[in-house]
Amino acid sequence: MSQKAKIVRIVSTDHFCPWGLKALDLLRRRGYDIDDQHLESSEENKRYKEENGYDETPQIWIEDKHIGTYDDLREHFDLGPDPKQGDTYQPVIAVFAVALVMAFTSCWAQQGALDLIRITELFIAISMCVLGILKLQDLKSFATGFVQYDLVAQRYVPYSNVYPVIEAGAGAMMIAGLFTWVVAPLALIVSSIGAVSVFKAVYIEKRDLKCACVGGGSSVPLGFISLTENLLMMAMSIWMMTKQIWF
């Protein structure tokens, strides 16, 4: 016979408590029979806390024993604090993984076969587009992180607004091989500056910074991944120009 639990949480049109939902999910996964009680407005939530002397909701009980909040529930199950986001390469891994899958499928759709050279071209170009989009979604936040290490942006801040446009635009043009003699040299210049900037900040000055490669406010450490992004852009630019001459 399953144990009983009760949770009181706010579920209203103007506020939906994520901790209440996470607590509910944790109890369900533990097999509890749950009495899920909703506070249907912010005013009702405030009144409930004041009347019962609680600082926050949700409030949880197991078999009539008061457990407390979601954090208290995790402690009750010996799970420790809710994991907080620290340094992680997950955003970059996600970009590169999806770009690689898109490169494979696009190559197959275009040629009916898998061409390693074409897959590599598409992988780098698609990665450039996606990384450019992530930067463009919040230019102000991106610029805040970018100016901390980019050598040109430190001298001319508006360059921060230009870099992601060049990155995304060059990637889009490289997919189709359009305007190569314009976009490839431009991408080569900005990526070379980026590579030197990252190398100087990380490997010479030994600074502990966050990378703006996936946009501002990320938890990606500035280092090898950031350098790799620029080196891939450099390689793609040189290859596209070489391809125009020899092929």
pLDDT of residue 85: 57
Q: 189: Cβ–Cβ under 8 A, 6 or more apart, which residues?
A: none
Q: Cα 214–215–217 angle (5° rounding)?
A: 110
Please state which CATH number belongs to domain 4-76.
3.40.30.10
pLDDT of residue 89: 85
Residues 102-145 pLDDT 10s: 999 999 998 899 999 999 999 999 999 999 999 999 999 999 99
DSSP per-residue codes, 180-244:
HHHHHHHHHHHHHHHHHHHHIIIIIS----B--TT-TT--PBSSHHHHHHHHHHHHHHHHHHHHH
Q: 129: Cβ–Cβ under 8 A, 6 or more apart, which residues?
A: 168, 171, 172, 175
The domain segmentation of the chain, as residue ranges, is 4-76, 90-246
- Compute φ and ψ for 38, nearest 5 degrees: -105, 140
Residues 61-99 pLDDT 10s: 999 899 999 999 999 998 877 766 567 888 889 999 999
pLDDT band at 186 (very low <50, low <70, confident <90, very high): very high
What's the chain's average pLDDT? 91
| Cα–Cα distance for residue pair 222/170, rounded to 1 Å | 23
**Backbone conformation region of residue 217, classed left if phi is above 0, alpha if psi is from -120 to 50, else beta:** left
**Which pair of tokens denotes residue 130?**
């996606």
Cis amide linkage into residue 58, ω under 30° from 0: yes
pLDDT band at 210 (very low <50, low <70, confident <90, very high): confident
Say how far residue 224 (Cα) sits from the centre of its chain.
Answer: 17
Q: CA nearest 89: which of 212, 203, 225?
A: 225
pLDDT of residue 86: 63
Q: What residue type is assigned to position 3 of the chain?
A: Q
| Cα–Cα distance for residue pair 26/161, rounded to 1 Å | 43
Residues 30-44 pLDDT 10s: 999 999 999 998 899
User: Do the Cβ atoms of 92 and 220 come closer than 8 Å?
Assistant: yes
DSSP at 7:
E
pLDDT band at 8 (very low <50, low <70, confident <90, very high): very high
pLDDT band at 2 (very low <50, low <70, confident <90, very high): confident
pLDDT of residue 218: 77
pLDDT of residue 84: 62
Q: Using a cut of 0.85, tell me whether the model's pTM lies above it.
A: no
pLDDT of residue 83: 66
Higher pLDDT, 233 or 81: 233
pLDDT of residue 1: 58
Residue 199: pLDDT above 80? yes
